[in-house]
Amino acid sequence: MRSLFSAKLYVVCLKKCRLTGIICGILLIVCNALLPLWDLLDTLAGSFTVTPVTVDRSLISAGLFLLLPLTAIMLLSAFFYLFRREQSDFYFSLPHKRLCVFLCMLAASFTWLWGAMLLSLLLDALLVLLNPSTVFSALPFLRTFGFFALLSLQIGGFTSLAVTLTGTLLSACVVTLVLRYLVPILYGLTTLFLDELVPMLDRTKTWLRFFGPTYWLGWGAWGLSPQEDPTPSQHPVVAGMAIALYVLAAVCYCRRRSEMAEQSAVSRVLQQAFRCAFVLPVVLFAAFWLVVRKSVTGCIITLLFAAACFLVYELATVKNVRRALKTAPLFVLPVLCGALIAGGCYLTRELVFSHTYAPDEIESVRLYEVRQRGLFSSHSSSRVFEYEGPPMKLVFTGDAETLRLTSDALDECVRSFRESGEYESASKIHAVIRLRNGHTAYRVLLPSYAEQIGLMDAYEAAPESREVFLRLPQAEEIQSVTVTYTYLSYTDGTHTASAKIPAEDLEAFWTCYAAEYASADEETQLYVKKGEFTLQENRNHLLTLQITGETAQGTFRNQYCVPIPFKESRQYLLRLFPNE
Amino acid sequence: MIQAENVTMKFDDFVALNQLNCSIPDGCVYGLVGSNGAGKSTFLRLISGVYRPAEGKIEIDGHAVYENPDVKKQIVYIPDELYFLPQASMNRMAKLYAAVYETFSYERFTHLTQTFGLNPTVNINTVSKGMKRQAATILALAAQPRYLYFDETFDGLDPVMRNLVKNVIYNDVVERKATAIISSHSLRELEDTCDQLALLHKGGIIFESDIQNLKTSLFKVQVAFSDTYGKERFDGFEMLDYTQKGSVATFIARGDRDAFREKLEDMRPLLLDILPLSLEEVFLYEMEALGYAFKDVL
């Protein structure tokens, strides 16, 4: 262990990074203090009284996004010696193992960065404490620190790998961007291709999804806000990816030849790879013009731009016109890659178009709509479920009408797209189609409004759907139940009171409620699960339950009614909350 | 002892060192001479653990140098292109050296700083090239390593400072039995400092010898006889070069000087002078004997 880390060397590295660390720290602290300071001054200056609310994470973390580029800058600065011969020789001549130098430099960099982040959050905490409109809570601060520490760790991984693979600052910056953004950009462009060429394909079920935001956590903070940070189960994945990057960077650092300083890459092969990766997104865009938009002009212009980028990058890195021109023919490589991707998408389109399914080929089908939320999406079972109901087990129906309408919708989509290249649709409905031959197809139906109504009516009326829809959550799946009592007073108007059912009474109440629900007729059950209720329907006394819970499929939130016929349940609640 | 066996170093297609074999004993001042691009700096970087050889091995006292902190802490390397921390003074650099070299002595550092007359609080990056070299030398000597490598260190130093640095290095070697390796492209610079010299050319050591031996093993003889004679009169003498103008013959001889004198005196010459050669002349004749034109080598 001694050979892996040296406290003295760590202190040397801390001092080496001091100037950059202080600058980054000042920027971070000042930028992140602006919003809470603004809020504080606004509150103090305002003449209105405010109800204090628990501090929101967006208040204390808006400026911390600066940490991400600062992490890259800090590491580029710390490892700048790899880009200069005399500095590289000096650090490699020190009597420490290379891995030790690498780890000490990393540790020093992150000490400055996370130290600045800690100071920033402490300052924000002070501002929050002074602010009469906010209530201090430690949890948002801890979560914010953890979130940004994780993201900066990941960015640092990309940067440290880039500096070990390159020998100049310019190429290190470019490679950092390539490592960080190439996959998301290629993913975005490929999905653009697929969305335009074959909108009927459910790409969230293809292998492509592993490079999307849900899985490829190299996206980091792309599209995320602190409210939407990765779920706790994704944190280990992000951390694991970061550790893998550092391990790779450490290996490259230890194997790096000192004489690579001032060369754009540690090998010619890597130099060519970086060059190709740099222009690949532009080439892909050129292919988009040609394949999707059928614009030869657009394609040519974009290709020329890509070629110019290719040449400029080479000129800037090798600093020799003759050598740069000699490598010009290698531009064919990214063009080939782009052609492969575009060609693959085109082939996929033909495959999807040629495979529409007759009703007798389909065994069962499941339909759902997808709600977009940032770049993360959640499924809802169907349009009937206004609230986020309990995530349904996969409700497949073999109802003949549903299968027929599904097949017709798919045929119509393909026909319309083949004829005009367009489609008219009110919405997108995802369909999981189980075929009689044992295969499963994932499609997106693009029905017109009338088709959508017909299809979803048939699906929801199918016995399997109805059965699941009418099912209540199990008691063990429920985490909390809040009762809301609303009544209309002709003198005072509408009154509302809420109370949470105590945990010790939850099971007993739910057993009673579920029993009354089970004995009710289907019409009453449908009413109970409707989710929206009026006072008039309930003779001006409305009892509703807001239920949250978790199943194997995920969390849910429902709203049910306690109608007048549910006498025992209503009595139970009256006993629990006599005053309300 | 520093041992290099069949060391080859390549930079892409360029072979900087080719199957180099070298053995440097402890406690000496070893000079590396060669023209630009001969491989001097490359060799120094190899034996200081900065580079890893493509082939062969480099060991100090039987232990590999590359990625070996226990060996590297006995080595301080002063390259031709110096590096100091940004905005660093000598004091700050001394702290860095003290952190990485356990044998660093602040006392020696202070003494040397005063000897050289440098201000340890000034930003080193703003001073002249010569003063930077002095600063680097002071830091290296204050670290008190067993092995000191100087890569063209005397460039940029004025003659007074050059002598001072040479003396300090020499005293350091004598007092602490350290080993100093000094590279230069000038023989004259190394002549009065080094114990041993090696000549590098195109990635290999083509000549290596103890300086004292070098200086005494070759000498110039001027002799004249009254009668007519030719080169055959000196058969049996080991000669590298022979010229005759009239009755005066001049030749470069190798061997024992006194024995030569005795033999020649027995031949009753009219004139006999045995003159020492400068190091440059020694190298000139030795190279020619090996088949190299001296001007092509240095």
Cα–Cα distance between A49 and B253 in angstroms, integer? 109
Q: What are the pLDDT tens digits along chain B (298 aa)? A: 999 999 999 888 888 898 999 899 998 899 998 877 888 999 999 999 999 999 999 999 999 999 999 999 999 999 999 999 988 999 999 999 999 999 999 999 999 999 999 999 999 999 998 899 999 999 999 999 999 999 988 776 788 888 888 888 888 888 888 999 999 877 777 877 888 888 888 888 877 888 877 777 788 889 998 888 888 888 888 887 888 888 899 988 888 888 888 888 888 899 999 888 887 787 777 777 777 665 555 5
Nearest Cα of chain B lies from the Cα of A86 at a distance, in angstroms, of 6
In this predicted structure, the answer to whether residue A215 has a pLDDT above a threshold of 90 is no
Q: Which residues of A touch B92 (CB under 8 A)?
A: 15
Three-class SS state of B147? strand
Closest CA to B124 of B97, B151, B163: B97
Q: Could you say which of B11, B45, B73 has the minimum Cβ distance to residue A95? A: B73
Nearest Cα of chain B lies from the Cα of A14 at a distance, in angstroms, of 11
Pairwise CB contact (< 8 Å): B81 & A19: no
What does the pLDDT look like over A392-414, one tens digit per residue?
A: 445 788 889 989 999 998 888 88
Which sign, positive or negative, has the C-alpha torsion B48, B52, B53, B59?
positive
Cα–Cα distance between A137 and A485 in angstroms, integer? 30
What tokens appear for A99 in the block?
Answer: 């891995």
In this predicted structure, the answer to whether residue A25 has a pLDDT above a threshold of 90 is yes
What tokens appear for B40 in the block?
Answer: 């001097």
- State the pLDDT at residue A210: 67
Cα–Cα distance between A186 and A183 in angstroms, integer? 5
Q: State the amino acid at position A334 in one-letter form.
A: P
Pairwise CB contact (< 8 Å): A95 & B11: no
Q: Among the ranges A370-384, A433-447, A492-506, A517-531, which has the highest mean pLDDT value?
A: A433-447
- State the pLDDT at residue A327: 83
Q: Could you say which of B79, B92, B101 has the minimum Cβ distance to residue A95? A: B101
- State the pLDDT at residue A373: 38
Cα–Cα distance between A384 and B240 in angstroms, integer? 108
> What is the predicted ipTM?
0.86
Nearest Cα of chain A lies from the Cα of B131 at a distance, in angstroms, of 18
Pairwise CB contact (< 8 Å): B83 & A11: no
- State the pLDDT at residue A463: 83
Q: Give me the phi and psi of B56, to 5 degrees please.
A: 85, -175
- State the pLDDT at residue A425: 66
- State the pLDDT at residue A234: 67
Quick one: pLDDT band at residue A375, thresholds 50, 70, 90?
very low
Pairwise CB contact (< 8 Å): B100 & A94: yes
For A253-279, what is the mean pLDDT? 87
Please tell me if residue B184 touches chain A, with a CB cutoff of 8 Å.
no
Cα–Cα distance between A3 and B72 in angstroms, integer? 13
Residue A266: DSSP 8-state? S
Please tell me if residue B13 touches chain A, with a CB cutoff of 8 Å.
no
Q: Which residues of B touch A265 (CB under 8 A)?
A: none
Please tell me if residue B52 touches chain A, with a CB cutoff of 8 Å.
yes
For A58-79, what is the mean pLDDT? 90
Which sign, positive or negative, has the C-alpha torsion A341, A342, A343, A347?
positive
Q: How many CB atoms lie within 10 A of CB A291?
A: 21
Name beta bridge partners: B276.
Answer: B219
Q: Which residues of B touch A12 (CB under 8 A)?
A: 96, 99-100
Kindly identify which residue of chain A lies nearest to residue B81, measuring between CA atoms. Answer: A86
Q: How far is CA A290 from CA A195, A534, B25, in A?
A: 15, 56, 71
Pairwise CB contact (< 8 Å): B99 & A89: no
Please tell me if residue B230 touches chain A, with a CB cutoff of 8 Å.
no
In this predicted structure, the answer to whether residue A225 has a pLDDT above a threshold of 50 is no
Please tell me if residue B85 touches chain A, with a CB cutoff of 8 Å.
yes
Pairwise CB contact (< 8 Å): A87 & B83: yes
Backbone Cα Rg of chain B: 23
Which sign, positive or negative, has the C-alpha torsion A439, A443, A448, A453?
positive
Q: Going along A121-243, which residue ranges are E strands?
A: 134-135
Residues 6 or more apart from A433 whose CB is under 8 A from it? A357, A362, A365, A406, A440, A441, A442, A443
For A154-167, what is the mean pLDDT? 93
What tokens appear for A107 in the block?
Answer: 């540790």
Kindly identify which residue of chain A lies nearest to residue B96, measuring between CA atoms. Answer: A12
Three-class SS state of A138? helix
A512, A568 contact by CB (below 8 A): yes
Q: State the amino acid at position B68 in one-letter form.
A: N
Q: Which residue has the higher pLDDT, A381 or B42?
A: B42
Q: Using N-to-C axis directions, what is the helix angle for A67-78 and A169-197, rounded to 10°?
A: 140
Q: What ranges do the domains of chain B cover?
A: 2-202, 215-297
How many Cβ pairs closer than 8 A exist between chain A and B? 62
- What are the start-end ranges of the H helices in chain B? 40-47, 69-72, 90-100, 106-116, 129-142, 159-176, 187-191, 211-217, 257-266, 279-290, 294-297
Q: How far is CA B289 from CA A485, B252, B284, B286, in A?
A: 113, 11, 9, 5
- State the pLDDT at residue A362: 92
Closest CA to A576 of A484, A517, A505, A511: A505
Closest CA to B252 of B283, B230, B226: B283
Closest CA to A200 of A339, A356, A343: A356
In this predicted structure, the answer to whether residue A383 has a pLDDT above a threshold of 60 is no
For A49-77, what is the mean pLDDT? 84
Encode burial over A355-379: b for 16+ CB neighbours within 10 A, e otherwise: ebbeeebbbbbbbbbbeeeeeeeeb
Q: Which residues of B touch A84 (CB under 8 A)?
A: 83
Pairwise CB contact (< 8 Å): B96 & A96: no
Q: Give me the phi and psi of A504, to 5 degrees please.
A: -70, -20
Instruction: Dump the DSSP string for A358-406.
Output: -GGGEEEEEEEEEEEETTEEEEES-TT--S--SPPP---B--HHHHHHH
Q: How far is CA B37 from CA A56, B9, B15, B155, in A?
A: 65, 13, 10, 16
B119, A27 contact by CB (below 8 A): no
What does the pLDDT look like over A278-331, one tens digit per residue?
A: 999 999 889 888 888 889 999 999 999 999 999 888 888 878 888 888 888 889
Q: State the amino acid at position A553 in one-letter form.
A: Q
- State the pLDDT at residue A396: 85
Q: Which residues of B touch A87 (CB under 8 A)?
A: 83
What tokens appear for A144 in the block?
Answer: 């914010």
Q: Which class does domain B2-202 fall in?
A: alpha beta
**Residue that has been written with the tokens 């100093």 in this structure:** B180
Residue A327: DSSP 8-state? T
Q: Which residues of B touch A100 (CB under 8 A)?
A: 69
Residues 6 or more apart from A468 whose CB is under 8 A from it? A381, A392, A393, A395
Q: Could you say which of B50, B52, B85 has the minimum Cβ distance to residue A93? A: B50
Q: Was domain B215-297 assigned CATH 3.30.70?
A: yes
- State the pLDDT at residue B114: 93
Name beta bridge partners: A557.
Answer: A548
Q: Which residues of A touch B51 (CB under 8 A)?
A: 257-259
Pairwise CB contact (< 8 Å): B86 & A89: no
Pairwise CB contact (< 8 Å): B69 & A3: yes
Three-class SS state of B133? helix
Pairwise CB contact (< 8 Å): B79 & A258: no
Kindly identify which residue of chain A lies nearest to residue B54, measuring between CA atoms. Answer: A257
Cα–Cα distance between A160 and A263 in angstroms, integer? 17
Q: Which residues of A touch B91 (CB under 8 A)?
A: none
Q: Which residues of B touch A86 (CB under 8 A)?
A: 79, 81-83
Instruction: Dump the DSSP string for B203-246.
Output: TEEEEEEEHHHHHHHEEEEEEE-SS---GGGGTTS-EEEEEEET
Please tell me if residue B29 touches chain A, with a CB cutoff of 8 Å.
no
Q: How many CB atoms lie within 10 A of CB A422?
A: 9
Q: Could you say which of A9, A90, A259 has the minimum Cβ distance to residue B51? A: A259
Nearest Cα of chain B lies from the Cα of A285 at a distance, in angstroms, of 36
What does the pLDDT look like over A530-557, one tens digit per residue?
A: 767 777 766 667 788 888 877 666 667 7
What tokens appear for B263 in the block?
Answer: 């033999």
- State the pLDDT at residue A372: 43
Please tell me if residue B160 touches chain A, with a CB cutoff of 8 Å.
no
Pairwise CB contact (< 8 Å): B86 & A258: no
Residues 6 or more apart from A91 whose CB is under 8 A from it? A81, A101
Closest CA to B51 of B61, B41, B63, B62: B41
The enclosing H or E element of A505 equals helix A503-519
What tokens appear for B144 in the block?
Answer: 């008190």
Q: What ranges do the domains of chain A cover?
A: 7-179+218-223+231-257, 359-469, 475-576
Quick one: pLDDT band at residue A233, thresholds 50, 70, 90?
low
Q: What percent of chain A has pLDDT over 90?
A: 27
Q: Give me the phi and psi of A576, to 5 degrees please.
A: -70, -40
Pairwise CB contact (< 8 Å): B82 & A86: yes
- State the pLDDT at residue A29: 93
Query: Vertex A238, ends A234 and A243: CA angle to 5°?
Result: 140
Pairwise CB contact (< 8 Å): A93 & B48: yes
- State the pLDDT at residue A580: 56
Residue A379 C-alpha from the chain's centroid: 14
The contact set of A with B (CB < 8 A) is: 3, 8-9, 11-12, 15-16, 19, 84-87, 89-90, 92-98, 100, 254, 257-259
Cα–Cα distance between A578 and A573 in angstroms, integer? 8
Q: Which residues of B touch A93 (CB under 8 A)?
A: 48-50, 72, 75, 77
- State the pLDDT at residue A283: 92
- The overall average pLDDT reported for chain A is 82
In this predicted structure, the answer to whether residue A570 has a pLDDT above a threshold of 90 is no
Residues 6 or more apart from A473 whose CB is under 8 A from it? A390, A547, A549, A551, A556, A558
